[in-house]
Structure 1
Amino acid sequence: MILVPTRELALQTSAIVKEIGKHMGVECMVSTGGTSLKDDIMRLYNTVHILVGTPGRIMDLANKGVADLSQCSTVIMDEADKLLSPEFQPLLEQLVNHTAPGRQICLFSATFPVTVKSFKDKYIDNPYEINLMDELTLKGVSQFYAFVEERQKVHCLNTLFSKLDINQSIIFCNSVNRVELLAKKVTELGFSCFYIHAKMNQAHRNRVFHEFRNGATRHLVCSDLFTRGIDIQTVNVVINFDFPKNSETYLHRIGRSGRFGHLGLAINMITYEDRFNLYRIEQELGTEIRPIPPVIDRNLYCK
């Protein structure tokens, strides 16, 4: 069983599992909220070796007696820090208690908060810990900031679009309303653009995700729904139109570029109110976010 916090990540993970397992006779099923529960129940009458999904939907299937987790010997939790947030943790503990005694539990996370440690101490005996943070988290991503007034942000974005060699970009805002407003502005500027956020219906989100992944548009404006685990190798630029409030969110956002050994570029628009937050995030992550130069060497983010 592979547990993930978002529907988009579930779809991506199941696609990878199916690709890896296609010559091994492995049957994988993905199940998330926002899709037909009846269809999922019918599919579980067939052989399923690997179940990928969000905690709420898999709990529904277990409670209805159609997903027998007592035979589940391996539980993988991707984005474990998010899965063990107050929103999900009670469900996670119920699901783990449904699985086989002696099951193997694997936790994957870019950050390691107290909640992950507490869960590890409670459910995992003598675990192995593999720490790749220093090697991978910021490797290959060049980070810059531009001081701007709020009213100048759209103009700044337009300038970046004209000067940067963008393959695909993801642009982050701090609210759903700002996502939709900015996407409209980007379209008005004449650039191809989609947007995605958690308040959209699932079918629409799936369509946007797949079309962006397939290169139907160059720019995607989004909320923090899209920060975790989404791997699109063609994204080489991430722009924080709104600077995040904490280092964890910053880390997950800029990690959308520079995937799979590719180079990436992170541009942060910083207002007067953001200046102390910028310094704090630099200190917490042990990284340097430099002032944006007049010209950014394309060799820093194009490979």
Structure 2
Amino acid sequence: QQQQQQQQQQQAARQQPNRQPPPNRNQQNQQRQPPQQHQPPATPAMAPPTNGGGAASMPPPKDMRPKTEDVTATKGNDFEDYFLKRELLMGIFEAGFERPSPIQEESIPIALAGRDILARAKNGTGKTAAFVIPVLEKADSSKAAIQAMILVPTRELALQTSQVCKDLGKHLGFEVMTSTGGSSLKDDILRLYNTVHLLIGTPGRLLDLAQKGVANMSDCKMICMDEADKLLSPEFQPLIEQLIAFMPADRQILLFSATFPVKVKSFKDKLMKKPYEINLMEELTLKGVTQYYAFVEERQKVHCLNTLFAKLQINQSIIFCNSTNRVELLAKKITELGYSCFYIHAKMLQQHRNRVFHDFRNGACRNLVSSDLFTRGIDIPSVNVVINFDFPKSGETYLHRIGRSGRLGPPGPP
């Protein structure tokens, strides 16, 4: 009987599969849980997407709306008609330019002829290329000297203008330098020991470099002033007059702006030589910009803004306030409402301002709250809505603010 029992036990053991010891309960939990992915910290730009905010991570859609007469009512000229350098034409066409806009048609041949220019045209009609193209055509890349200066009132506009010069002149071999207050003076001085052909910046910094003898202006025969009405304000005009004194007598001065107050006349009479005047301002605002106003009390403004975000089809929007404190407070409110939002103003660190400008331009965020720092010359084509949260302090400020919408023709409500 014992032998039979042993045989039965051996037979049962052969029939049973190998059993593993029961796993630890903690090991079971670890096996069941999928691997955790790293979640970045929430920021205002990552607020939930809505009609007004849009998906913050997605770039705004390309603007396919038709262009208006502000840029299409031309004489029918082509860029080839101006006998530009082949390399410059390549850069122009690669940048997406097809035919010159009205302000470019009027100013390019006159500037190439060497005349001083006083040009008034609406914001967003191609003024930057209207003076950059003549500068690139007349400069000589084989000559190791500063040959042209472009003055602008803000650091952001200097960076944007510099990029236009680099894009249009990418096949010409020019060295373009940007110098503004807030950047390292030491780095700028070291940079000027190397070849620089085109110098772009704010008046105070460029005058400082000229007075130190670092920026040699003896071969600089062209000076272009973008947003000239701001540059000829009491804040800047004395600096510009001192800067022009470093240039040769046979210099050429180009002034471009959407508005020209009375103070421009004194500058013109004092420093310009029979300037050719261009005025394309039959109307003050772009034809593609539709304007609305809402009469609301201060406490109702945020509610009204929330309604606009819900109702409007926004690619990107800029919302203007009159003070830096209100800029930050409003940006916080907009984020709390659930819309993606950045803010920018003059009291921010330059590095932070550059980052916000770059990210907003690349579509990282749909809405930007700004002080009047952003009213002049900034070109972000996908901005189709501009909101004046605070009433602008002057008519000129209003024109420059709403000029951020409808750039180069496509319509957009402010």
Range into which the TM-score falls when normalised by the shorter chain: 0.7 to 0.9
1:79-129 deviation digits (Å, cap 9, x = unpaired): 010001011111010011111111000001111111111111111111101
Equivalents in 1 of 2:387, 2:409: separation in Å? 19
**Corresponding residue for residue 130 of structure 1:** 278
Q: Secondary structure at the match of 1:144?
A: coil
**Corresponding residue for residue 157 of structure 1:** 305
1:139-159 deviation digits (Å, cap 9, x = unpaired): 210000011111010011011
- The amino acid across from 1:139 in the alignment is K
Relative contact order higher in (CA < 8 Å, ≥ 6 apart): 2
Structure with greater proportional strand content: 1
**Corresponding residue for residue 316 of structure 2:** 168
Q: Report the Cα offset of residue 177 of structure 1.
A: 0.8
**Corresponding residue for residue 204 of structure 2:** 56
- The amino acid across from 1:195 in the alignment is Y
Which range moved further: 111-120 or 11-20? 111-120
- The amino acid across from 2:353 in the alignment is R
**Corresponding residue for residue 227 of structure 2:** 79
User: Are 1:44 and 2:192 matched, yes or no?
Assistant: yes
Structure 2 gap ranges (5+)? 1-148
Question: For the pair shown, which has the larger CA radius of gyration, 1 or 2?
Answer: 2
Give the root-mean-square deviation of aligned CA atoms.
Answer: 1.0
Q: Report the Cα offset of residue 134 of structure 1.
A: 2.0
Equivalents in 2 of 1:59, 1:84: separation in Å? 15
Taking the TM superposition and a 5 Å limit, the aligned residue runs for 1:82-231 are: 82-134=230-282, 137-231=285-379
User: Are 1:265 and 2:396 matched, yes or no?
Assistant: no
Query: How many positions carry a matched residue from both structures?
Result: 266
- The amino acid across from 2:406 in the alignment is G
Q: Secondary structure at the match of 1:264?
A: coil
- Identity in percent: 77
Equivalents in 1 of 2:350, 2:372: separation in Å? 16
Q: Report the Cα offset of residue 207 of structure 1.
A: 0.6
1:2-31 deviation digits (Å, cap 9, x = unpaired): 000000000000000011111011211101
TM-score if structure 2 supplies the norm length? Answer: 0.63
User: Are 1:68 and 2:211 matched, yes or no?
Assistant: no
8 Å CA contact 2:284, 2:399 repeated in 1:
no
Equivalents in 2 of 1:53, 1:23: separation in Å? 23
Q: Report the Cα offset of residue 138 of structure 1.
A: 2.4
TM-score if structure 1 supplies the norm length? Answer: 0.86
Equivalents in 2 of 1:100, 1:236: separation in Å? 43
- The amino acid across from 2:398 in the alignment is Y
Structure 1 gap ranges (5+)? 267-303
- The amino acid across from 1:6 in the alignment is T
